[in-house]
Amino acid sequence: MKSLLAGFLIVFALGLVALMTMSSSPKESKQMNQDLNQQNKQGASAQAPKPTKGSELVAGKSYTAIIHTGAGDMTVALNAQTTPITVNNFVTLARKGFYNKTIFHRVIKGFMIQGGDPQGDGTGGPGYTIEDELFEGEYTRGTIAMARTMAPNSAGSQFFIVHQDNMTLPKDYVIFGKLTAGLETLDAIANTPTTMNAQGTEESTPVEPVTITSIDILEE
């Protein structure tokens, strides 16, 4: 009797495991693998070398960025007082010409436009990552914030500008400024025709990407 009961329990347990395995669809399994791969990439990114110590920012000064693009200019007031690490990184890269001739590689109308990748496909960066820092504000129209992976402290050079107010986006992306002029340029870029991205997950790859010709930094 005991042997019969033990056999029944074993069969029941195996059946339960099989049922749990079958409940994950191929789509869910693929997403889990993608998430795992993404986490591995994030881990590698987080171990990238840090930028050289020192700051381009002068205490008491305010900083403005003028982003020159093929669709027009956008003027950004940078939050040097509240997010000095992020602003210093952006200012340093801009002054070095890092952003020159890069493109807005990811465009989602009504959400945001994303640029700052020297590779032009969302995989590139400056070769290091910066620390996240506390910030103020919401992801409202014209806000500029750092793009990063799901891993903390994984931002590098990529940034995005919010096209329309977004109150649902998690506060994971450091806001470091806001447009004071050039909303018409933001609209023009956001309305660029797009196609499906290489991963087949969203329609966000511009058919004819808009180029950042240069970024000027004003110090006052």
Tell me: pLDDT of 34 over 50.
no
- What is the per-residue pLDDT for 53? 59
Q: Is residue 126 part of a domain?
A: yes
Among 133, 42, 44, which residue's Cα sits nearest to residue 84?
133
Q: Is residue 23 part of a domain?
A: no
The tally of domains found in the chain comes to: 1
Given the DSSP bridges, would you call strands 203-206 and 194-196 parallel, antiparallel or unpaired?
antiparallel
Q: Is residue 169 part of a domain?
A: yes
If DSSP states are collapsed to H, E and C, what string results for 69-105? Answer: ECCEEEEEEECCCCCHHHHHHHHHHHHCCCCCCEECC
Q: How far is CA 149 from the centre of its chain?
A: 6
- What is the per-residue pLDDT for 48? 40
Tokens of 140: 């409202």
Percent of the chain with pLDDT over 90: 74
Q: Is residue 36 part of a domain?
A: no
Q: Is residue 208 part of a domain?
A: yes
Considering the chain, what is the average pLDDT of its residues? 82
Tell me: pLDDT of 50 over 90.
no
Q: Is residue 192 part of a domain?
A: yes
Q: Is residue 111 part of a domain?
A: yes
Q: Please give the helix or strand (H or E) that residue 3 lies within, else none.
A: helix 2-22
For the domain that residue 195 is a member of, what is the CATH number? 2.40.100.10
pLDDT band at residue 80 using 50, 70 and 90 as cut-offs: very high
Q: Is residue 54 part of a domain?
A: no
Q: How far apart are CA 65 and CA 181, in angstroms?
A: 11
Domain, as residue range, for 107:
63-219
Residue entry with tokens 């869910």: 28
Q: What is the pLDDT of residues 128-143, one digit of tens each?
A: 999 999 999 999 999 9
Q: How far apart are CA 84 and CA 135, in angstroms?
A: 10
